[in-house]
Amino acid sequence: MEERSIEMGVKIKSMKYDEFRDNETLETFIKPGGGILLSTLDDIIDWGRSNSVWPLTFATSCCGIEMMATGASRHDFARFGIEVYRASPRQADVIVVAGTIVNKMAPVLKRLYDQMSEPKFVIAMGACAVSGGPFYYNCYHVIRGVDHVIPVDVYIPGCPPRPEALLYGVMQLQRKIKLNKMVDAPKINKSNR
């Protein structure tokens, strides 16, 4: 059964397999020797999870405005099951870190992440959340990449990324959720910078 999903690629309903810009990279994430036989039940669970990813209402700067635009009627990411913004971390599946995380905000973000129930996923949206972005140099107050605080599944570059980019990132996350049992969990960046 695992041969099937690798041979045919990881398919999601939202986007055609051939339309992804890069399919090989995702397949390198698959654990070597991860030939565990997945049950049909697991397949169904992952299918369900990947098609109802509920984000947490969390935005700290201009990327948040793009995220709201993505949720609004023109781009409407509810089409893909990224349905409602949840105001409580207990009900959310994904936290989209949309914006700059300063040192003072980091403990709050960590607590929100800890309060989310498993399985939980993180999208780092925009240059600030990916690497500190424009605040990388000569700044005393900004976390250089949110992966220093919480493990990140998908990175979306851009300053801020357009709604299309967020949708693309979300679809990459959906593919990753489908591979949930077969890829390593993301790790926290332990370097100084």
Site string for other proteins, 130-159 (x = CB under 8 A): ------xxxxxx--x---------------
Q: How far is CA 92 from the centre of its chain?
A: 13
189 counts as binding other proteins under rule CB under 8 A: no
Question: Shortest distance, CB of residue 45 to other proteins, whole angstroms?
Answer: 43
> Binding to other proteins (CB under 8 A): which residues in 106-135?
none
C-beta of 28 vs 138, nearer to other proteins = 138
Question: Shortest distance, CB of residue 140 to other proteins, whole angstroms?
Answer: 5
> Binding to other proteins (CB under 8 A): which residues in 155-184?
none
190 counts as binding other proteins under rule CB under 8 A: no
| HEC letters along 27-73 | HHCECCCCCCCCCHHHHHHHHHHHCCCCEECCECCHHHHHHHHHHCC
Strand order from edge to edge, sheet including 94-98: 94-98, 121-125, 154-156
- The token pair at 73 is 């009627």
C-beta of 143 vs 182, nearer to other proteins = 143
Among 16, 21, 74, 104, binds other proteins (CB under 8 A): 104
Tally of CB atoms within 10 A around 46 = 19
Cα–Cα dist 67/64, whole Å: 5
193 counts as binding other proteins under rule CB under 8 A: yes
Residues near other proteins (CB under 8 A), total = 10
C-beta of 73 vs 192, nearer to other proteins = 192
> Binding to other proteins (CB under 8 A): which residues in 16-35?
none
C-beta of 40 vs 192, nearer to other proteins = 192
Q: Report the half-sphere exposure of 178 (CA within 13 A, side-chain side).
A: 19
Question: Shortest distance, CB of residue 134 to other proteins, whole angstroms?
Answer: 11
Cα–Cα dist 55/111, whole Å: 16
Contact 50, 15 (CB under 8 A): no
| Binding residues for other proteins (CB under 8 A) | 104, 136-141, 144, 192-193
